[in-house]
């Protein structure tokens, strides 16, 4: 769809960056932001502006407040380390005390009209939710805390703890708060909780360039309730045909004949061995060779007569009896030849490993998602736990966690038994 085309274009330009962990990808964002800021300062010098920045050059975007807070702290630390900020003053904001200094980026988090008694010349002031600016000074003539801010639209605002407190650092902002903002370059932290709408908003806040960052661990498939992912032979197993041959279904059964098998490597990297007398014919009729991408489907059963070894309980002698059994019937469909797949892999070599998962998650419609879609998301779980703690229901939260752990153990046990039953059933079908 359109999301895939868009992400592919970003990947081709090197604007889709991945790392193994959330920590690593955040470090990469901070490093890239720092380098981009230095380039912006150099451009300002060349344009005769003495290295001064307007403020609307760079913005980092993330989905959750927790990620935004972490990014703001890291980016402000860079500013402090490079000596880009003046003396800090503590400001009692709605979300808690924040240190502000001349040069800090600031964001307004609530629509409001207000008067600041210590700046009567400005008269009634107004700000909008999501407005961004740069702190010019942090104190009045008497040395008391008073923030003077130059908004990115060029207007000046002055505020104190008594007139307006719903502010925060503005190096990074949530995607939701950024609606309406436009900057030269954005750095977007993608996580599994994002949907199509948030993706569109985050990737349309820039005039010149946007970079999308993703951690592999945020997009890993997590087996539900600790169960191993199972393949449905009736629905079909799709993947690369890596090997075919004949072997004993039960290696220790010396009386059993060799049976045909096909090994299929699915997208998650696991190899599934499928057994069936009809497999070679199905593969041959479809013109399938090893290395091709195929779908093998169990298309019912057929009744056949086979010789089954029987050991006489009294004499211990072995004899063979003819019995009717159900045998799996397989159909095969070639999805892609090995050569075509190699060509496609070459064409898509610019895509990062996490590309497919990104497309799947970021293409979701927010209207169709529920909390169940995020049950394995670390950021969602942390948010839910924090919600519980802040409302004085820690005990309930802990009890729920214990119940979940017990249910997970029971599901794992049931899954193990199901695997054993499935294996026994498949053995019976191969007899």
Share of the chain above pLDDT 70, in %: 81
Any domain includes 24? no
Give the pLDDT of residue 349.
Answer: 77
Q: How many CB atoms lie within 10 A of CB 21?
A: 12
pLDDT band for position 418 (50/70/90)? Answer: low
- Is the model's pTM score more than 0.75? no
Give the pLDDT of residue 118.
Answer: 94
Domain count of the chain?
1
Any domain includes 1? no
Any domain includes 2? no
Contact 106, 133 (CB under 8 A): yes
pLDDT band for position 301 (50/70/90)? Answer: confident
Give the pLDDT of residue 428.
Answer: 56
pLDDT, tens digit (0-9, with 9 covering 90-100), for 1-22: 688 888 999 999 999 999 999 9
pLDDT band for position 409 (50/70/90)? Answer: low
Any domain includes 335? yes
Any domain includes 213? no
Give the pLDDT of residue 117.
Answer: 95
Kindly state the tokens that stand for 423: 């294996």
First to last CA, the chain: 46
Per-residue pLDDT, averaged over 51-65, amounts to 95
Give the pLDDT of residue 83.
Answer: 95
Higher pLDDT, 338 or 210: 210
CATH at 262: 2.40.50
Per-residue pLDDT, averaged over 53-58, amounts to 94
Any domain includes 231? yes
Per-residue pLDDT, averaged over 162-181, amounts to 96
Q: Which residues contact 132 (CB under 8 A, 6 or more apart)?
A: 55, 56, 59, 105, 106, 107, 108, 151, 152, 170, 173, 181
Domain extent for 235: 224-343
Any domain includes 309? yes
Q: In whole angstroms, how far apart are CA 286 and each of 246, 266, 289, 342, 393?
A: 19, 19, 9, 20, 61
Mean pLDDT of the chain: 85
pLDDT, tens digit (0-9, with 9 covering 90-100), for 310-356: 777 777 787 777 777 778 889 999 998 988 888 877 777 788 888 98
Any domain includes 14? no
């Amino acid at each position: 769809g359109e999301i895939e085309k868009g992400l592919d274009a970003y990947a081709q330009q090197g604007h889709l960056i991945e790392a193994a962990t959330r920590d690593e990808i955040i470090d990469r964002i901070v490093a890239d932001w720092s380098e981009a800021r230095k380039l912006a300062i150099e451009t300002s010098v060349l344009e005769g502006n003495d290295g001064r920045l307007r403020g609307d050059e760079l913005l980092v975007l993330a989905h959750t407040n927790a990620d935004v807070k972490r990014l703001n702290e890291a980016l402000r630390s860079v500013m402090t380390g490079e000596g880009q900020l003046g003396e800090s003053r503590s400001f009692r904001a709605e979300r808690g005390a924040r240190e502000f200094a001349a040069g800090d980026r600031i964001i307004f988090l609530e629509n409001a009209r207000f008067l600041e008694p210590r700046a009567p010349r400005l008269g009634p002031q107004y700000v909008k939710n999501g407005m961004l600016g740069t702190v010019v000074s942090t104190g009045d003539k008497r040395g008391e805390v008073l923030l003077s801010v130059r908004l990115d639209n060029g207007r000046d605002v002055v505020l104190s703890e008594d007139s307006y407190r719903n502010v925060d650092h503005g190096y990074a902002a949530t995607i939701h708060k950024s609606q309406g903002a436009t900057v030269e370059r954005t750095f977007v932290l993608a996580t599994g909780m994002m949907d199509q709408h948030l993706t569109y908003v985050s990737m349309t806040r820039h005039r010149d360039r946007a970079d999308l960052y993703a951690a592999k661990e945020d997009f890993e498939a997590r087996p539900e309730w600790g169960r191993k992912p199972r393949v449905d032979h009736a629905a079909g197993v799709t993947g690369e045909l890596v090997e075919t041959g004949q072997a004993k279904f039960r290696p220790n059964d010396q009386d059993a004949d060799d049976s045909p098998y096909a090994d299929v490597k699915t997208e998650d990297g696991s190899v599934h061995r499928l057994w069936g007398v009809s497999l070679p014919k199905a593969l041959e009729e479809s013109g399938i060779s090893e290395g091709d991408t195929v779908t093998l489907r169990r298309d019912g059963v057929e009744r056949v007569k086979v010789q089954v070894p029987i050991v006489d309980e009294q004499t211990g002698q072995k004899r063979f009896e003819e019995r009717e059994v159900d045998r799996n019937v397989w159909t095969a469909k070639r999805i892609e030849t090995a050569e075509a797949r190699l060509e496609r892999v070459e064409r898509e070599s610019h895509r990062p490993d996490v590309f497919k998962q990104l497309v799947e998650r970021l293409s979701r419609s927010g209207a169709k998602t529920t909390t169940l879609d995020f049950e394995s998301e670390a950021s969602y779980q942390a948010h839910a736990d924090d919600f519980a703690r802040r409302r004085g229901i820690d005990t309930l939260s802990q009890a729920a966690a214990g119940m979940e752990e017990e249910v997970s153990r029971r599901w794992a046990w049931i899954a193990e038994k199901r695997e054993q039953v499935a294996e026994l059933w498949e053995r019976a079908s191969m007899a």
